[in-house]
Amino acid sequence: MKLSLAALTLVALALVPAAQAADGRLSDCIAMQKQVAAALDSANPGDSTEKARTQANAARSLCASHLYAQGVARYSEALHLLGHG
């Protein structure tokens, strides 16, 4: 029983850094979403604005699916389309 408890404790401790890393990427998604939202608010209507909005929607979906790196990449593309990247 003590061996099982020790093994379970080691597994739990091993998962802490992974959870913290995932949270860090989530915070990147949140920060990028705020930047893109501000850029969209100040953007002039046009083709690139609509493309950026499409990229931002895709990014939001990816981040919600825990695909943080892909979401951040889409947000970055949206900023580029808006001339902020």
Q: Compute the average pLDDT of residues 37-46.
A: 95
Q: Compute the mean pLDDT over every residue in the chain, rounded to the nearest whole number.
A: 82
How many other C-beta atoms are found inside a 10 Å radius of the C-beta of residue 75?
29
**Of the candidates 82, 85, 13, which has an alpha carbon nearest to the alpha carbon of residue 42?**
82
The residue that leads in pLDDT, 9 or 60, is 60
User: CA-CA distances (angstroms) from residue 56 to 4, 29, 32, 67, 75?
Assistant: 46, 11, 9, 14, 6
Q: What is the pLDDT of residues 30-41, one digit of tens each?
A: 999 999 999 999
Dihedral, CA of residue 73, residue 48, residue 40 and residue 21, to nearest 10: 0
Domain residue limits, the chain: 23-81
Which residue carries 């850029």 as its tokens? Answer: 39
Record the pTM.
0.72
